[in-house]
């Protein structure tokens, strides 16, 4: 799939998800759910790939949780920065989304558990607050639990249907493209509180390349300045594509405030 085809599929899928929840969730709030669930899928599949290590005989999604020893968890958190139980994987949540009467509270519990897994580790500050913008129990999703669950299921299924293979192998910056598409459709009516200032992908890519110039301790770059970063700056996935490192390794250096959550410097 070419870069343009990937971008068109992403935009088409986001628009379909928007149609499914149209009239229920404010456009600017909707953006948070799409980006948040997209990020949840990303770290879930990233973690699953790490555990399976390319072994076709290992299926972490069906792995017995009682066999996950403290040593396994400790090693994984030290390497990845967080831990996700098999039952908490994106794929398993999506599979039961339509019939799960507790979907909204289950998602909140999963997000809380992912953040809690890093407590006491070097990654604690990086993981804390990752999902603050995704309020799965909010009345903005619907007046009843059933309505909220249905809309969350629609977003989950829509994100699950994105078929780009490995996130790391994408020809586009998924988060950057999704963010810019959502911005272009909803920011015009959001005003300053909605984040009318944001960093285009071209600038984000340049910032990522500048960051990666400092390869040794003496010349490393610890600070960058972007006057448009009042909202999220999408360089995390771009920076990750420049080096062979785990997804969140750069966040301790390049993080402004908790409001920057998933994809910020």
Give the residue extent of every domain in the chain. 3-191, 199-253
Domain 3-191 CATH class label: mainly alpha
Q: Which two tokens stand for residue 35?
A: 């980006």
CA distances 81 to 12, 13, 231, Å, are 33, 30, 24
Q: Please give the helix or strand (H or E) that residue 131 lies within, else none.
A: none
Per-residue model confidence (pLDDT) at position 250? 39
Is a pLDDT exceeding 70 seen at residue 11? yes
What H or E segment, with its residue span, contains residue 197?
Answer: none
Section 32-42 average pLDDT? 85
pLDDT tens, 222-262? 676 666 554 444 444 444 444 433 333 434 333 333 333 33
Residue 37 to residue 59: CA distance in whole angstroms: 22
Is the CB of residue 151 less than 8 Å from the CB of residue 24?
yes
Distances (CA, A) of 21 to 15, 79, 160: 10, 37, 16
Pick the most confident of 11-25, 30-44, 131-145: 131-145
Higher pLDDT, 47 or 196: 47
Rounded CA gap, 49 and 58, in Å? Answer: 10
Query: Could you give the CA distance from residue 152 to residue 149 in angstroms, rounded to a whole number?
Result: 5
**Whole-number pLDDT of residue 191:** 45
Q: Around Cβ 110, how many Cβ atoms within 10 Å?
A: 22
CA–CA gap between residue 47 and residue 43 (Å, rounded):
6
CA 147 – CA 62 distance, rounded (Å): 29
Nearest-angstrom CA–CA distance, 251 and 127: 9
């Amino acid at each position: 799939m070419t870069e343009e085809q990937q971008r068109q599929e992403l935009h088409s899928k986001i628009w379909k998800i928007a149609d499914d929840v149209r009239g229920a969730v404010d456009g600017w709030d909707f953006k948070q759910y799409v980006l948040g669930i997209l990020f949840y899928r990303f770290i879930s599949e990233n973690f699953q790939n790490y555990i399976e290590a390319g072994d076709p005989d290992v299926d972490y999604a069906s792995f017995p949780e009682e066999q996950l020893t403290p040593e396994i968890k400790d090693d994984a958190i030290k390497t990845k920065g967080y831990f996700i139980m098999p039952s908490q994987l994106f794929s398993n949540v999506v599979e039961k989304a339509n019939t799960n009467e507790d979907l909204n509270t289950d998602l909140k519990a999963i997000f809380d558990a992912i953040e809690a897994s890093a407590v006491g580790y070097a990654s604690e500050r990086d993981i804390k607050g990752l999902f603050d913008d995704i309020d799965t129990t909010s009345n903005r999703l619907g007046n009843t639990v059933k309505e909220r669950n249905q809309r969350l299921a629609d977003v989950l299924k829509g994100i699950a249907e994105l078929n780009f293979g490995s996130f790391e192998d994408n020809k586009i910056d998924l988060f950057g493209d999704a963010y810019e598409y959502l911005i272009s459709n909803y920011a015009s009516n959001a005003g300053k509180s909605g984040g009318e200032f944001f960093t285009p992908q071209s600038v984000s890519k340049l910032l990522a390349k500048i960051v990666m110039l400092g390869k040794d301790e003496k010349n490393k770059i610890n600070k960058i300045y972007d006057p448009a970063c009042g909202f999220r700056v999408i360089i995390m996935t771009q920076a990750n594509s420049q080096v062979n490192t785990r997804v969140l390794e750069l966040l301790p250096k390049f993080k402004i405030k908790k409001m920057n959550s998933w994809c910020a410097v």
